[in-house]
Structure 1
């Protein structure tokens, strides 16, 4: 009997390997990030829409990334500003809803304002929800959720209530998590939400992630047998 094809609602991608791709091509690290912004995000989003995926998450900046070289961090922040202007306009024209997870309070005020504008601009869009994880860390998210619960004056909550305090409240858990670059770990990505996610760790770097490669990973997922602990 043929395996039942798995439904795929939410795909999350750990965008790893930008710097290694740049080094392999004897380029500055920022050019790996630039290629991702200019050539990778939008084609993957278009492919997700074609494949009927409802939520697509990109982890693009972790709480640990602040420890990188100051020049690289500054270049990344400049790319975020661009992503949150030019790219968001493109998303809106396509009917795509923007969502952000992570602690935005660490970013400069102008970036926070661009995020707010992007969220408001795309709030009513329905084609797909694209989530960018910015200054995101799994432990940080859990600690912030716990603090919100304490601030609400609660001493005990159910698992369902706890989910409402997470950055991802209202978003389905990922069915599939893809980490590019060959590293076989999640590095704290969505620790609460990833418990039943299928995981794949392709060797190629994120700047090399093409729609064809994405389609192949989605096809492989759909033939997996997911047991959800049963």
Structure 2
């Protein structure tokens, strides 16, 4: 468990792109493009702040139900992001991993993702975990199916984790959700068990370094007990 004032693992539900566009009488896709600009700011800033793992909820399993034009636009933005940020990711020593059912992603962005993952595999800086075609329940179901296929009869919590997507990624310390919504929306259900939750009314395209610092400062002022008392934490009974 992480008791440090700087979270080891930050996860973000990047919400509000559509509302950002609607406020400006623009098509939703413009909000998603603006949201990608926010990603380009926050990723290197998180690495600079000493975050070791950053998980971004980029596209959920439920998002496939959105209008075809919007889904296709999102996949195009994903491709453009990889092309545009490839060199920056390598220069900043960031390792890219993907959580989710990658086989459902269209061929062009999927091929680019696989190439980026391969090229950045040996990078030793921050790990950027992109949740794509991802659902928390789907992750648990996929883990159970892996266990069944392995002929394992019994698992414990620590062994179950080995079957999750990217099992080397630790539990989430801080979850940030933008746009004022106060729910976790099927995101990283297993790893959020003891996460600190931070909700802000700021729409994702407007989320910047200053807003990120607000979330980190709020986290630093919280007491994390993991089911124990303050006295036990102070004594180090962990």
- Is the structural similarity TM-score above 0.5? yes
SS in 1 for 2:54: strand
Determine whether 1:111 maps to 2:114. no
- Partner of 1:16 in structure 2? 15
Query: For structure 2, which runs of at least 5 residues remain unmatched after alignment?
Result: 229-238
CA displacement at 1:25 relative to structure 2: 1.1
CA displacement at 1:5 relative to structure 2: 6.3
Aligned residues: 226
Are the counterparts in 1 of residues 16 and 178 from structure 2 also a CA contact under 8 Å? Answer: yes
Are the counterparts in 1 of residues 17 and 32 from structure 2 also a CA contact under 8 Å? Answer: yes
Query: For structure 1, which runs of at least 5 residues remain unmatched after alignment?
Result: none
SS in 2 for 1:164: helix
Paired residue for 1:200, among 198, 201, 208? Answer: 198
Please list, as runs of the form range in 1=range in 2, the aligned pairs for 1:39-188 lying within 5 A after superposition: 39-188=37-186
CA displacement at 1:88 relative to structure 2: 2.6
* Greater relative CO, 1 or 2 (CA 8 Å, sep 6+): 1
CA distance in 1, matches of 2:6, 2:105: 36
- Partner of 2:232 in structure 1? none
Are the counterparts in 1 of residues 179 and 200 from structure 2 also a CA contact under 8 Å? Answer: yes
Runs of 4+ with deviation above 3 angstroms: none
Deviating more after overlay: 84-93 vs 48-57: 84-93
Deviating more after overlay: 86-95 vs 101-110: 86-95
TM-score using structure 2 length: 0.91
For residues 156-192 of structure 1, the C-alpha deviation after alignment (integer angstroms, 9 at most, x for no partner) is: 1111111010013001111000010111000111110
Are the counterparts in 2 of residues 47 and 215 from structure 1 also a CA contact under 8 Å? Answer: no
CA distance in 1, matches of 2:4, 2:111: 42
CA displacement at 1:109 relative to structure 2: 2.3
Are the counterparts in 2 of residues 11 and 174 from structure 1 also a CA contact under 8 Å? Answer: yes
Are the counterparts in 2 of residues 5 and 224 from structure 1 also a CA contact under 8 Å? Answer: no
